[in-house]
Structure 1
Amino acid sequence: MKRFVLIAVFLFFGLSCGWAESKVLLDDFEGLISGGPQGTVDFGSGNGSSLEVTGDTSIKHSGQQSIKVNFDAVSGGYMYIARGFGLDAENTAWLVKPEDINWAKVAAISFWMYGSNSQTNIAIDIKDNGNEMWRFITIDDKTGWKEVVCPLVEFFPRGDWQPDSADRNGELDFPIRSYQFEPLPVAKGTLYFDQVMLVMKKE
């Protein structure tokens, strides 16, 4: 009987490990959170919308802190909270360089978000190697921490705005260079973000 139990436990953990998702930590928001030309986060707003971006040690999913976003998104306004490469702020690099990632094996981007069940729509944009912006939209539908998984196949090219330098070819060109969060109008509140990861395809 004991032998049977041991075999069952071995098979359970063996199968669980074999099918477990593999993830790569892309960003964790540890250290100084600052804006401006020398900032660690590239953020801004306009057309009446406003936001404040800081580090927060009291509400965090892991490590020492999360990134806290106080926002007021008005009709016709915009905002962005970006990390990555090729941005206006100089110290926004991820923990991993885009060129060191095997993007053919990446299935999704995930992150942890602490919300208040406000029903706010939150856009997650990624900028591809041709400077084209791609969008995925989630919703703040839980009070507390929630893992948001954004499959790459569900991103779509932004139709409302693209950088002047975007190639606009409608192809998601790798490597991805940056990502950004944007609470969408009309909404006002506070969100926390932590642990941005790449979800790898199962072997």
Structure 2
Amino acid sequence: MQIEQPPVHRERVIPTAERRGLVLVHTGDGKGKSTAAFGLALRAHGRGKPVLIYQFMKVPSARFGEHRVFERLGVPIIGLGDGFSWKSKDLDHSAALAREGWARAEATIRSGDHFLVVLDEIMYPLRYGWVPLDGVLACLRERPAHVHVVLTGRGAPTELTDLADTVTVMAAAKHHYQAGVPAQRGIED
């Protein structure tokens, strides 16, 4: 490792625009997209802001680690799906759940009642054509000015990343699966 000197001077960029709701996209093949979105939800909740999390691939009865802690904290986290497509027994049903879930999420965003709305794993229903991209883009453009929206999942469409204010691409440099180590509760649930 190369040792470096800590910076002592920093050029300060002074923002010129007003504060407003942001669209944030967490995408890429690396781990951490949902985790980062949940971190933002915790920050907002910690500041007393209303937060709602929708999970497009998790079932409503899911009890993963994030569900347990958000329930204790009083942050609603709602499963809208029936699991990942490779686990689904009926893809038409999965598509219908995604459309119904999007209708709920869209109504939440447009209502302006929440400071932050997380659309976890929405990229799957977008990429599969279950949720029309044009409707999502229109909702994001037309949302109340104070509403922040975080969208997560692999393969974010270019139209969405173009519209977003912040796009983070998670890249996998190394993954424990490659060494044969299975998923572990508390790390990947």
**TM-score if structure 1 supplies the norm length?**
0.24
Which structure ranks higher in relative contact order (CA pairs < 8 Å, sequence separation ≥ 6)? 2
Q: Which has the higher helix share?
A: 2
More strand by share: 1
TM-score of the aligned structures, taking structure 2 as reference length: 0.25
Greater Cα radius of gyration, structure 1 or 2: 1
